A and B are shown apart, each in its own frame.
Chain A
Amino acid sequence: MNEVAPHTLNPKIGRAPGWQGIVADWSSDQRAFKNVSWGKAMMWIFLLSDTFIFGTFLISYMTVRMSTTVPWPNPSEVFALEIAGHHLPLILIAIMTFVLISSSGTMAMAVNFGYRRDRRKTAILMLLTAVLGATFVGMQAFEWTKLISEGVRPWGNPWGAEQFGSSFFMITGFHGTHVTIGVIFLIIVARKVWRGDFDDGRRGFFTSRKGHYEIVEITGLYWHFVDLVWVFIFALFYLW
């Protein structure tokens, strides 16, 4: 990245106190966010927009849950598993959450090694993140299969309000799609890291531009976001 110094065409910049100073800084020359690349800015703003999508999904789910007159199925029981004779409520969801949160850890390490230009470790950690993500999606597929075999459908279920099934499939499906897209993107970027595209300046897929190791961080932003959204889904759908 070319670092553009916040130069002082306008002598007021950096001098005004309080809010005026903040506004002057932020609205100053060329870039609102100094040293933030176009790609990173775009990902942040996309995530803001995507936050509104997930937020609206969750608020809609809470609205239908509150407005239905039929009892809501108890998630602890619905998502319980019998393992080795023990009845464990929410066990699968707990494991899924653990896997996904761990993948955020490996992702953060990948970003770190990316900036150190350690191609091997970066690529391995990204692939590990992708594997953890794929495991998460796999367990979600198992959960879907289990619920479907127990008779849960988008239009009804054996235990109560039919909005339970509709919200469940819609929200976890939408989140699962996000994770899947993330896994695909991780694999693509990991391959480019492994091949050394960001060292020899090879033109990239999608933008016909030379890439930077920063793309690892941008992929990471998306990945952490998807994890964060899961925390909210976990709290609002499974724990409520």
Chain B
Amino acid sequence: MADVTHDAAGPLSAAEVDDVELYHPKSWITKYVFSQDAKVIAIQYSIVALAIGLVALVLSWLMRLQLGFPGTFSFIDPDRYYQFITMHGMIMVIYLLTALFLGGFGNYLIPLMLGARDMVFPYVNMLSFWIYFLAVLVLVAGFFLPGGPTGAGWTLYPPQAILANTPGQQWGILVMLVSLILFIIGFTMGGLNYVVTVLQGRARGMTLMRMPLTIWGIFTATVMALLAFPALFVGAVMMLLDKLVGTSFFMPAIIAMGERLAHKGGSPILFQHLFWFFGHPEVYIVALPAFGIVSDLISTHARKNIFGYRMMVWALVAIGALSFVVWAHHMYVSGMHPAFGFFFATTTLIIAIPTAIKVYNWVLTLWRGDIHLTVPMLFALGFIVTFVNGGLTGLFLGNVVVDVPLSDTMFVVAHFHMVMGVAPILVIFGAIYHWYPKVTGRMLGDVLGKLHFWVTFLGAYLIFFPMHYIGLMGVPRRYHEISGMAFVPPSAATLNEFITIVALIVGAAQLAFLFNLVWSVRHGRPAGGNPWRATTLEWQTPQTPPAHGNWGKDLPVVYRWAYDYSVPGAAEDFLPQNQPPTPQPA
């Protein structure tokens, strides 16, 4: 990497960009509520996402209680169970993971890591958060409207999503669709900001190939989101029309409850295509920021440069591009043309190549590194294990012949929870432990952090590993109760009880994490500006937490890539990106 690490150039002055005219808040409201500062917006995004995530956590508890102890909790009737499933899935994938990775970490880290003062359009950025907040409120409103939230499953497949007798068909499905449309509008405003800031707003010396991989991950994911969300937007608009106006985009002629409905001639498969054209990239919208963040965590906490930086970047971009041509592997049993299965299975398996490159590079970064088992590092290592595990079961499900018997079983549930539930969430935790000192100036409690990691990591395995076996037994997913099926052995019920008990414990451990978050704001150990001795720009700010405008009078100038750890001959074991090279003896 000689060409991206050192350049024979003396210190340079910062190049100010004309466009930067910071908005200076004049009152408490514009500083903390309707703030245009990306850092405040990031914290707002994160708090709302974590709060709605708590709702999803409670819903998962309720589902597990029903599955573990069927019949004990009479208030969890089949309708409510479906509503819990739907809301849990939608909240976790969109309102928690997407919003937290892109809205939360994106807003906080993009300007700071790139040496910018703020996002390029702070006002639009502020609107983005408030529209997201509105989307969350509309989503939550579903719980209080007559009939409750929709119970159509998070995939919202028509025709059942809008038919009578699907729970929440009066109001739930409407607020769900409206909330999704709002989310997409809000996200687009933020996403344009992130992309343009990365492309056009970097500090002097910050070439694209010197950006930390965190930014590469968030950037690639944002571009994907801007191209994938339109499909969901269109699908939501069309379903809204089907439901409200009585069009038949997705609705074939149907006899329901002995009555012929007015719809005729629509194509339910069309919705599945639209949904998964969004839905599969969405998996990587959640995964790519996690890949990026984990690369930085591993490099920092193993005090070693990332192995194969260039390949890591290209792998991110390749995964992003490939993920747009694999969507129908979610639809092998939908009745689409069988020849499609061949194409989509092939593209799906090709994704394993860039993904494997990333995993090898993480492992090779660790190889003979000076590994510090800090809390962020533990979570990063936990991510690699869970991600490899979930990725391997993905190879099963990507093959048509293997998928057909496994589809719609608990095996699928175990697979996607491992690969896009547990894995990214471990990264979110690791990232919060890593950057919390920058956000608040104080460290999160270490003991509680390690306890949180071990309970969460081991617990996740105890929950989802047995679930694979339940799936292999043929236990279907999305069933309120499985008793009385001859092919399900009694041991499945025992396993389900076990999983439920572990799930309750793991959920409770998250409360310890929340306590840690709140308690450490005032009582944590003071962190100083750069507690992890990291190279990237956000740790080199003049103040901690960074002040409005991030950098004081002059913008930083970047002289090297983000991974100068343990450079031979250097005084410290890290060289910050903005440290000028020592003059070479001629």
B-binding residues in A (CB < 8 A): 1-2, 4, 9-12, 26-33, 36-39, 41-42, 45-46, 48-50, 52-53, 55-57, 60, 63-64, 67-70, 154-155, 161-163, 165-166, 170, 174, 206-210
Contact = CB atoms under 8 A, between A and B. Distances in A.
Interface string B423-447: 0000000000000000000000000
Contacts of B200: 30-33, 36-38, 41
A70 B265 contact: yes
16 contacts: A9-B9, A9-B12, A9-B205, A26-B208, A32-B199, A33-B200, A38-B196, A39-B121, A45-B226, A49-B188, A53-B234, A56-B277, A60-B238, A64-B266, A68-B265, A162-B265
Contact of B19 (A37, A48, A170): A37
A56 B7 contact: no
A31 B196 contact: no
A210 to B, nearest CB: 7
Contact of A63 (B17, B196, B229, B267): B267
Contacts of A33: 199-200
Contact of A154 (B234, B247, B266): B247
Contact of B247 (A45, A166, A207): A166
Given A29-B205, A49-B230, A161 B7 contact: no
B220 to A, nearest CB: 14
Interface string B109-133: 0000000000011011000000000
B230 A53 contact: yes
Contact of B204 (A29, A45, A170): A29
Interface in B155-206: 188, 191-193, 195-196, 199-206
A31 B262 CA distance: 55
Contact of B231 (A28, A32, A52): A52
B505 interface: no
A220 B262 CA distance: 44
A70 B263 CA distance: 13
Nearest to B191: A49
A57 B233 CA distance: 10
B7 A155 contact: no
A12 B7 CA distance: 10
Nearest to A11: B7
Contacts of A166: 241, 245, 247-249
- Top 10 A-B pairs, shortest CB-CB distance: A27-B208, A2-B18, A166-B247, A52-B230, A155-B246, A53-B230, A56-B234, A32-B199, A38-B120, A49-B226
B356 interface: no
Nearest to A55: B230
Contacts of A165: 247
Contacts of B205: 9, 29
B421 to A, nearest CB: 27
A63 B270 contact: yes
Interface of B: 3-4, 7, 9, 12, 15-19, 21, 23, 120-121, 123-124, 188, 191-193, 195-196, 199-209, 226-227, 229-231, 233-234, 237-238, 241, 245-249, 262, 264-267, 270, 273-274, 277
A2 B121 CA distance: 17
Contacts of B273: 63
Contact of B192 (A46, A63, A163, A209): A46
B269 to A, nearest CB: 8
Given A31-B200, A206-B123, A60 B207 contact: no
A69 B267 CA distance: 11
B227 A48 contact: yes
B238 A154 contact: no
B481 to A, nearest CB: 37
A48 B208 contact: no
Contact of A30 (B9, B15, B23): B15
Contacts of B248: 155, 162-163, 166
Given A1-B18, A28-B208, A155-B248, 7 more contacts: A29-B206, A56-B231, A60-B274, A69-B265, A163-B265, A209-B21, A210-B21
Given A27-B208, A60-B249, A60-B270, A170 B237 contact: yes
A10 B3 contact: yes
B227 A49 contact: yes
A163 B3 contact: no
A155 B266 CA distance: 11
A30 B204 contact: yes
Contacts of B121: 38-39, 42, 207
Contacts of A36: 200
A69 B199 CA distance: 48
Given A29-B204, A30-B202, A48-B226, A163 B123 contact: no
Contacts of B124: 207
A41 B247 contact: no
Contacts of B264: 162
Contacts of A155: 245-248, 262
Given A1-B18, A10-B3, A154 B199 contact: no
Nearest to A36: B200
B293 to A, nearest CB: 21
A99 to B, nearest CB: 27
A37, A45, A67: most-surrounded residue (chain B CB, <10 A): A45
A64 B273 CA distance: 13
Contacts of B23: 208
B18 A154 contact: no
A7 B297 CA distance: 32
Contacts of B229: 49
Nearest to B24: A208
B200, B245, B262, B264: most-surrounded residue (chain A CB, <10 A): B200
Contact of B195 (A10, A37, A45): A45
A30 B206 contact: yes
Contacts of B234: 53, 56-57, 60
Contacts of B17: 2, 4, 30
A27 B199 CA distance: 9
A172 B227 CA distance: 22
Contacts of B204: 29-30
B102 to A, nearest CB: 14
A2, A11, A30, A207: most-surrounded residue (chain B CB, <10 A): A30
Nearest to A34: B200
A12 B247 contact: no
A38 B198 CA distance: 11
A36 B192 CA distance: 15
A64 B267 contact: yes
B274 A56 contact: yes
Nearest to A57: B234
A46 B188 contact: yes
Nearest to B119: A38
A10 B7 contact: yes
A181 to B, nearest CB: 13
B199, B202, B226, B266: most-surrounded residue (chain A CB, <10 A): B199
Contacts of A209: 19, 21
Contacts of A64: 249, 265-267, 270
B180 to A, nearest CB: 14
Contacts of B191: 49
Contacts of B195: 45
